[in-house]
Structure 1
Amino acid sequence: MSLPTPTPTLFEALYRGERYVGFGTPEPGARQTLYRVADGQLAAAFVATDGSEASIRAAVTEGAAEVTVTTDDPELRLLPPLLPTATGNALLSGFMGTHKKKWGGETAPEGGEFTPPKWFFKGFGDWVRLPGETLTVPANPIALIEEPEVALVYVNDAEGTPHYAGYTFGNDLCDIGLHRKDPGYNPYCKLCDTALTPWLFLGEPPRTVTGRVTISRGGATAWEGSFDCGGDALYFRVKDMAEHLFSFPAVRRPGLVNYVLLGADEASFHDGFRIADGDRIAIDVKSHGVAFENTVKYVAPARLS
């Protein structure tokens, strides 16, 4: 029996003050060839080509300066997929209540008027945290929840038409307790850091995404459980959600990069567990060979002058 063909991936990184692109998901400590790119060059390649690995590789490597580094080089800093240098040129947002579990196991009916899921704005793209970085939350959350999710990545062209680039994975940490106290507080609920992995998968939005969450406290496992956040687990069809979101001109600004979270499975909160200050959340996306960890930190409010 033949194994499925791995989905091609790429990533961007800063090395000694310059921006580079690499291909694949290298293991820690592995040697990796990187290709020098200008800010926005990789994003522009997704607008100008068909988005395939071959066309993207040709667009960004031909004539590019090369450097070979080890992936644990302290001067190498990975970046969220396609993140522009200019603040405000990328948005992070997402959909709520998208899983079949929350709809009695059903799927949205075909045809007829589309009733979209609720949507939220999380922040600018440079608010995104990377694996290993701290996820900060307000000092006194009611009840936090980790949310392993698929994040779709889109680049708008000069006319504002969105071009799908690929997908990555993230943890949309939020205060579900605040949301449940009053759904109108959801914008506050979402004011917690979100982590995204730096790997951009170049395939269509995934149908199956499975894995496991482990939350550690004081060096010991405090909770663990599985999750499924692929398209087949959703009540809504990904295409319908994306088309509805991009019907709004505000997310179609020319040159804008959009990270769009597709919603999360039930998690530790639904099992009665409560995330505490200092807990470490490890998400292992077993179906795609991606694992990442972040530590949660409660941050006291600043004094107003």
Structure 2
Amino acid sequence: MSVLFEAVYEGHRYVGFDRGPAVTLHRVADGQVAEAFVEANGSASALRASLTSGAKTVSVSIDDPGLRFLPPLLPAASGNALLSGFMGTHKKKWDGRTFAEGDEFVPPKWFFKGFGDWARLPGEPLTVPAAPVALIEEPEVLLVYVNDADGYPHYAGYTFGNDLCDIGLHRKDNGYNPYCKLCDTAVAPWLFLDAPPRTVTGRVTIVRDGATAWEGPFDCGADALYYRVRDMVEHLFSFPAVRRPGLVNYVLLGADEASFHDGFRIADGDRIDIDVKSHDVAFSNEVRFTGPVPPGR
């Protein structure tokens, strides 16, 4: 599986095409990678040639402390990328059934998480409101699209995210779901240059005070979903608001059952370790409860 990533090193933005232990970085300008995806129109060789031809390069260790990774294709300007996703997509939530040809398509519920620069990278804290009802980690496939000058969305690839949210608030009242989603989302920096994956398996471990407090498996590939990915995406992009020219869209495809369904409750300071074993991707983030803003400020 081909992989692309973007990072900042010594004040410059770069793109890379492997995961180390030593990597060659090719200097790029803000937005250049997104534009290259549009111009390449699905050709991996054209994409690589566009981003490497004539570019200044530097070789570094993948764990160099000066290498700061970025969410894939993230524009420097806030508001030029959107992070959103679908709910209730897994077969487990549909009695094990899958959408069949000929069935009437009823789109899944959709939610907005925030702008692209709200995404948190591995190792960064995930902040939530001071008194959540009941948090849930949600390891998910995250698709990346970039719109061309006419607003047509071009698929770039996929990575993985943790759609942390307050499921307890959602269950208290479905109308509170927009509030429930106002928790930070972790996004892995590795963009897989392939079609959305059919099989994604892994394991979640929640660490509290240095010890494992809960762990369990997950499956979030397309074969685990009731809906077809194509149908969900086509419906989302039927709305002009997400087809603004130049906009980057990060789209979460939904999560398996998790610690909440096993009776576990995430606490302030817990560390969520997500190991996507099928794709050799692992990322960790600490959960931090944040206090309310004092009145009058």
TM-score per shorter chain, which class? Answer: over 0.9
Pairwise CA distance, 1:71: 1.9
Q: Does 1:13 align with 2:11?
A: no
Of 262-271 and 70-79, more deviation after overlay is shown by 70-79
Aligned residue pairs total: 296
SS of the residue 1:274 aligns to: coil
Paired residue type of 1:84: P
Alignment partner, residue 280 of structure 1: 271
Alignment partner, residue 173 of structure 2: 182
Paired residue type of 1:242: V
Pairwise CA distance, 1:72: 2.1
Alignment partner, residue 169 of structure 1: 160
Alignment partner, residue 209 of structure 2: 218
Alignment partner, residue 51 of structure 1: 42
Alignment partner, residue 52 of structure 2: 61
Aligned partner of 2:16 among 14, 18, 22: 22
SS of the residue 2:16 aligns to: strand
Alignment partner, residue 82 of structure 1: 73
CA distance in 1, matches of 2:31, 2:295: 38
Q: How does 1:141-290 map to 2 (within 5 A)?
A: 141-290=132-281
SS of the residue 1:91 aligns to: strand
CA distance in 2, matches of 1:263, 1:116: 13
CA distance in 1, matches of 2:131, 2:25: 43
Deviations 1:249-274 (A, max 9, x none): 00000000000000000000000000
1:51/1:202 contact within 8 Å kept: no
Pairwise CA distance, 1:111: 2.5
Pairwise CA distance, 1:54: 1.6
Structural RMSD (CA) = 0.8
SS of the residue 1:253 aligns to: coil
CA distance in 1, matches of 2:108, 2:53: 43
1:137/1:191 contact within 8 Å kept: yes
CA distance in 2, matches of 1:194, 1:234: 21
Paired residue type of 2:133: I
1:149/1:263 contact within 8 Å kept: yes
Structure 2 gap segments, 5+ residues each: none
Pairwise CA distance, 1:53: 2.8
SS of the residue 2:289 aligns to: strand
1:151/1:261 contact within 8 Å kept: yes
Paired residue type of 2:223: D
Deviations 1:208-232 (A, max 9, x none): 0000000000000000000000000
Identity %: 76
CA distance in 1, matches of 2:123, 2:230: 32
2:19/2:62 contact within 8 Å kept: no
1:10/1:23 contact within 8 Å kept: yes
2:14/2:25 contact within 8 Å kept: yes
Deviations 1:75-118 (A, max 9, x none): 21000000000110000000000000000000112135320000
Deviations 1:32-68 (A, max 9, x none): 1100001111101110113333221101000000011
SS of the residue 1:101 aligns to: helix
Alignment partner, residue 285 of structure 2: 294
Alignment partner, residue 116 of structure 1: 107
1:52/1:202 contact within 8 Å kept: no
CA distance in 2, matches of 1:150, 1:289: 14
Paired residue type of 1:18: H
1:35/1:61 contact within 8 Å kept: yes
CA distance in 2, matches of 1:100, 1:302: 40
Pairwise CA distance, 1:74: 2.1
